């Protein structure tokens, strides 16, 4: 997973340096998130994330983002307790295209990277099961940003697709181990602020 992530970061960095125009603008963002799987009976997860972007123009940005969200549940009956916790941490590279550079900025984009997931079950405070894994994932998205000077307020929805690992292992290891035929999907809604966006024209 580490090798794949560093390769991804290196590739994004090379793209940034090669495509960087003299007037590129650096921006950072912070948002809250909620996610829900597309399977029947799936639960809602809450969390948040941060990002760092470079606006190559007023309508195009590229960057990297980190999100973290999960849930904890505890059930008690007849003197027995069962505790369940789960979480997902996507670490992704991203690209966004804005249709306008005015006050209202609808946009489309995509993210690709590594999704780290973890599940743990405790029975009577004793851990009975624990699974940690990493998978490659992609997320096409649509959103709307309100531009207030250099501050943007945005809401976006993305559809995340996590791919299985060919060798059946818990960790992806590299791109050659991605199984595109076995997927896990979930929806995500992000609402937050972006500091350092290009001003309106």
CATH of the domain at 128: 2.40.160.20
For 101, half-sphere exposure in the C-beta direction (CA atoms, 13 angstrom radius) is: 13
Position 200 in a domain: no
Q: 3-state SS of the chain: helix, strand, coil percent to 5?
A: 10, 70, 20
Residue 75 inside a domain? The answer is yes
Mean pLDDT to the nearest integer, 173-193: 81
| pLDDT band at 2; cut points 50, 70, 90 | very low
166 found inside a domain = yes
Classify residue 72: in a domain, yes or no.
yes
What is the number of structural domains in the chain? 1
Segment 147-161 mean pLDDT: 96
- Please indicate, yes or no, if residue 185 is contained in any of the structural domains: yes
Tell me, yes or no, whether 28 lies in a domain: yes
> Which residue range(s) make up the domain with 84?
2-195
Q: What is the pLDDT of residues 31-64, one digit of tens each?
A: 999 988 765 556 678 899 999 999 999 999 999 9
As a whole number, the mean pLDDT across the chain is: 83
| Neighbouring C-alpha atoms within 13 Å toward the C-beta of 167 | 11
Is residue 182 in a domain? yes
User: Does residue 201 belong to any structural domain of this protein?
Assistant: no
Q: What CA–CA distance (Å, rounded) separates 63 from 51?
A: 7
Spacing of C-alpha 192 from chain mean position: 14
């Amino acid at each position: 997973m580490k090798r794949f992530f560093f390769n991804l970061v290196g590739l994004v960095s090379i793209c940034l340096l090669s495509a960087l125009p003299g007037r590129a603008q650096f921006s950072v963002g912070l948002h809250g998130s909620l996610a829900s799987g597309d399977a029947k009976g799936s639960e809602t997860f809450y969390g948040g994330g941060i990002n760092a972007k470079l606006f190559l123009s007023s309508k195009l940005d590229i960057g990297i983002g980190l999100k973290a969200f999960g849930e904890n549940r505890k059930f008690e009956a007849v003197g027995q307790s069962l505790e369940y916790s789960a979480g997902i941490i996507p670490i992704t590279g991203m690209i966004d295209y804005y249709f306008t550079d005015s006050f209202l900025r609808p946009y489309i984009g995509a993210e690709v990277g590594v999704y780290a997931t973890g599940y743990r079950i405790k029975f009577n405070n004793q851990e009975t099961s624990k699974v940690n894994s990493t998978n490659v994932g992609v997320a096409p998205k649509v959103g709307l940003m309100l531009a207030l000077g250099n501050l943007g307020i945005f809401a976006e929805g993305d559809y995340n697709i996590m791919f299985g690992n060919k060798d059946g292992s818990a960790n992806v290891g590299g791109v050659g181990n991605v199984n595109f035929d076995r997927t896990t999907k979930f929806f995500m809604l992000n609402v937050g602020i972006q500091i350092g966006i290009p001003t309106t024209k």
